[in-house]
Structure 1
Amino acid sequence: MSSEVTIENKHEQPKAASRNHFKEKAYHVLNRYGMLFILIALIIFMSILSPTFFTSGNILNIVRQMSVIGIVAIGVTMIIITQGIDLSSGSVIALVSVVVASFAQADSYPVLLAVAIGLGVGILTGVINGTIIAKGKIAPFVVTLGMMTAARGLALLFSDGRPIGNLSDTFKFIGQGAILGIPVPIIIFALVGLVSYLLLNKTKFGKYVYAIGGNEQAAHIAGVNIEKYKILIYSYAGLLSAIAGIILTSRIASGQPTAGLMYELDAIAAAVIGGTSLSGGIGTIGGTIIGALIIGVMNNGLDLLNVSSYWQQILKGAIIVTAVLIDARKNRKS
C-alpha cells in the first residue's frame, strides 16, 4: 500500500513542479511585457471602433503629440526611481517657452543660440531643484512644488502674461518639420529615449540611479556621492523639460506663459503606467515610453469616438490609480 502511494507521489511531483514553473514563467512575461500587451490590445480595440484610427497619418500624429509628454516622462522616470518626484516640469516648459521664443524671433538671433539659452534655463531649474533637495534635505514634493509656482510666475512676468509670436521659420521647423516623412519631434523623442536608455542601463550614472532608489543608505555606505548624483538627475530632468518646451513652442509657433499646464501629471502618469515604482528602485525607459503611448492612444481614440474630455480625465485617473495599486501589490509580494 505504501509503495503505491510513493509511486503516485513520484508522478505528482513532476506535474506540480511543471505547473509551478509555467506559472512563474507566465508571471514573469506578464510582469515584463504586460503594458506592451495592453498597448497592443488598446490599438486593436480602437481600430475596430474607429476605421480612421489605424492609419499611418493618425499613428504618426499620436506619437508626435505624445513626444513632448514622453520626453518629460523620461526625466521624471529617473527621478521617481530615486524615490523622488518632480511637479515643476510643466511650469519649466512654460518658462523655457517664453524665453526661447523671445530669442527665436524672425531676423534676430541664430536658432542655435535660442535653443542653447532654452536648454540652459531648463538645466538651471533642475540644478536648483536638485541642490535644495540634496543639500537642504528637503522633500522633493515640497521643493518641486515651489519651483512649479515660481517658474510659472517667472514665465508670466517675463512675457507680461502675453504670448510671444513672430518666430523664425528655421525655429518652427523643430516642431513642425519632417525628415524623410518622419516628424522632427518624433525623431527627437527617439534620440532622447535612446540616449536615456544607454545612460540608465550602460553607465555608472544609471547604476547609481537604481542604487539610490533601492537603498540610499546602502548606496552611501558603498561610496556613492548621493548629493552629486541627485543634482545630476534633477538637472537631466530639467534638460528634458527644456527640450519638450522648445518642441512645444516651435509646434504652436509662439511662446506661451500658460504652456505645459498639467503636463507634469501626465508625465508622472506615463512613468507609473509604464511600471516605474513610486517606492523607488524600479523603472525602465521602454516602459515609460509605452506608458506615454498608452495615454496618447487612449486620448486620440476617445477623441475620434467623440467622447467628452471630462470622461477622458476620469478614465486617465482610474488608470493611474490602478497602476499604483498593481505596483503596491507587487511590492507586498516582493
Structure 2
Amino acid sequence: MASKMEETYVHRKLEAHKPFSTKQFFLQWEWLLVLILIGVMVLNTLLSPYFLNVTSLRDATMIFLDKSFIVFPMAFIMIMREIDISVGSSVALSSVVMATAYNVLGMPMEVAVIICLLVGALCGLLNGLLITKFPELSAVIVTLATMILYRGIAYIILEDQASGNFPEWFGFFGWGYIFGIPFILIVFVIIAVMFGLLLHKTSFGRRVFAIGHNDVASKFSGVNVNRTKLIVYTLAGVMAALTAVFLASRMGSTRPNIANGYELDVIAMAALGGISTAGGKGRLIGTVIAIFIIGYLQYGLGLINIPSQTLMIIIGALLLFAVIVPKVKEMRR
C-alpha cells in the first residue's frame, strides 16, 4: 500500500516537471465545462427573450447560489471517497430550529442564526462520528439514516406548518445588494476562495487527497484519517446551516420540507465539476463552473415553465456525461 502511494507521489512529481503543453492545457475538463456553460447561455437566450440581460443574470444568482455553499465541502467528501446525502435534511432542521428559536422561544434573530449554524455543525459532526466510529458501515447507509432522522425531527418540531415573521433586516441575506452586487454572490466568492485555498494550498487539503487515494496507507503514513473526516463532515453541516439562513431569508419563512432534493443537485454539481466519484481527484474551479451551469440551466428553463421532471432528466444526463467521459479517456490511454 505504501508503495502505491509512493508511485502516485512520483507520478505527480513527474507531471509537475513536464514542459507546458498548450494542447494538454486546453484539453482539461474545465475548458469543456466552459463550453457547456456557453452552450447553456446560448440555449437559454434562444428560448427566452428575458434571459440575456445583466439584471437577469445578476439576480438569478440569488435564486440558485444558496445550495452552492454545500457543494464545496461535498467536493472534499467525494475526494475522500465518501458521500453525504443528509445535507438537504440538515438544511431543513437547521432552519426549523432557527425559526422556532425566534418565533416560539423569543430569542433575538442574531442568536437564532448562531443557533442555526450550531445545529448544522452538530448534524455534520454526528455524521462524521458515526462514519469514523463504525467504519464497517458505508457513508451512504449512515447519511441515509441521518437524512431521515434530521427531516423527521424537523417535522416533529413544526409538523406541516410554516414559520416566518422574521425581522426586516433578515431579508438582506437573500435579497440584499452591496454596491449593486448581490450579497449572496459576494459571500459565495469568499467561501469559494477559502475552500479552494484549503483544498489546494494547505497540508489539510493534501491529507484529503491522500485519504481518497488510500485511507489505510494514509493512516500508516501518519495522517489522522478520522479527525480529517470529522472536520470535513462538520464543515458540510455548517455550510448546510448557512444555506438554511440564506434560503429562509429569501423565502421569508421555513417549513420541514424545504431543501428537498438538494443533496442530488449538490452531488451533481460536484461530479460535473470534475470531482472523481472514485476519490483522490478533482479541482474546485471546475466545481464553481458546474454550479453556474446547473444554476443557469434551471433558471433559464424555469423562465419558459419547463416541468421540473424535464430538468431532472437534463441534470441526470449531465451527471452521466461527467462520470462516463473521464472513464472513456482513461480507457483510451
Verify same fold: TM over 0.5.
yes
Partner SS state of residue 68, structure 1: coil
Alignment of 1:129-148 (within 5 A): 129-137=127-135, 138-148=137-147
Question: Could you say which residue in structure 2 is the equivalent of 1:159?
Answer: 158
Question: Could you say which residue in structure 2 is the equivalent of 1:13?
Answer: none
| Structure 2 unaligned spans of 5+ | 1-18
Partner SS state of residue 51, structure 1: coil
Question: Could you say which residue in structure 1 is the equivalent of 2:311?
Answer: 312
Paired with 2:305 and 2:162, the residues of 1 have a C-alpha distance of 30
CA contact (8 A) 1:167 1:254 kept: yes
**Aligned: 1:223 with 2:229:** no
Question: Could you say which residue in structure 2 is the equivalent of 1:64?
Answer: 62
Paired with 2:326 and 2:188, the residues of 1 have a C-alpha distance of 26
Paired with 1:312 and 1:297, the residues of 2 have a C-alpha distance of 12
CA contact (8 A) 1:212 1:219 kept: yes
Larger radius of gyration: 1
Give me the CA root mean square deviation. 2.2
Give the C-alpha shift of residue 141 in structure 1. Answer: 0.3
**Aligned: 1:301 with 2:304:** no
Question: Could you say which residue in structure 2 is the equivalent of 1:31?
Answer: 29
**Aligned: 1:271 with 2:274:** no
Alignment of 1:4-23 (within 5 A): none
Identity of aligned residues (%): 35
The 10-residue stretch of structure 1 (167-176 or 230-239) with the greater mean CA deviation from structure 2 = 167-176
Paired with 1:279 and 1:107, the residues of 2 have a C-alpha distance of 45
Paired with 1:106 and 1:47, the residues of 2 have a C-alpha distance of 46
**TM-score, length-normalised on structure 2?**
0.88
Paired with 1:272 and 1:165, the residues of 2 have a C-alpha distance of 34
Paired with 1:317 and 1:71, the residues of 2 have a C-alpha distance of 21
CA contact (8 A) 2:30 2:285 kept: no
Question: Could you say which residue in structure 2 is the equivalent of 1:17?
Answer: none
Partner SS state of residue 73, structure 2: helix
CA contact (8 A) 1:249 1:256 kept: no
Question: Could you say which residue in structure 1 is the equivalent of 2:200?
Answer: 201
CA contact (8 A) 2:30 2:273 kept: no
Give the C-alpha shift of residue 96 in structure 1. Answer: 0.7
* 2:72 alignment partner, one of 66, 71, 74: 74
**TM-score, length-normalised on structure 1?**
0.88
The one-letter code matched in structure 2 to 1:56 is: V
Paired with 1:169 and 1:321, the residues of 2 have a C-alpha distance of 43
| Structure 1 unaligned spans of 5+ | 1-20
Residues 4-43 of structure 1 show CA distances to partners (whole Å, capped at 9, x for unaligned) of xxxxxxxxxxxxxxxxx99982475343421122112321
Question: Could you say which residue in structure 2 is the equivalent of 1:4?
Answer: none
Give the C-alpha shift of residue 106 in structure 1. Answer: 11
The 10-residue stretch of structure 1 (166-175 or 150-159) with the greater mean CA deviation from structure 2 = 166-175
CA contact (8 A) 1:70 1:288 kept: no
Question: Could you say which residue in structure 2 is the equivalent of 1:40?
Answer: 38
The one-letter code matched in structure 2 to 1:35 is: L
CA contact (8 A) 1:106 1:169 kept: no
Q: 1:119/1:24 Cα in 2 relative to 1: closer, same or farther (>3 Å)?
A: same
Number of residue pairs matched?
314
The one-letter code matched in structure 1 to 2:193 is: L
Q: 1:217/1:107 Cα in 2 relative to 1: closer, same or farther (>3 Å)?
A: closer
Give the C-alpha shift of residue 127 in structure 1. Answer: 0.7
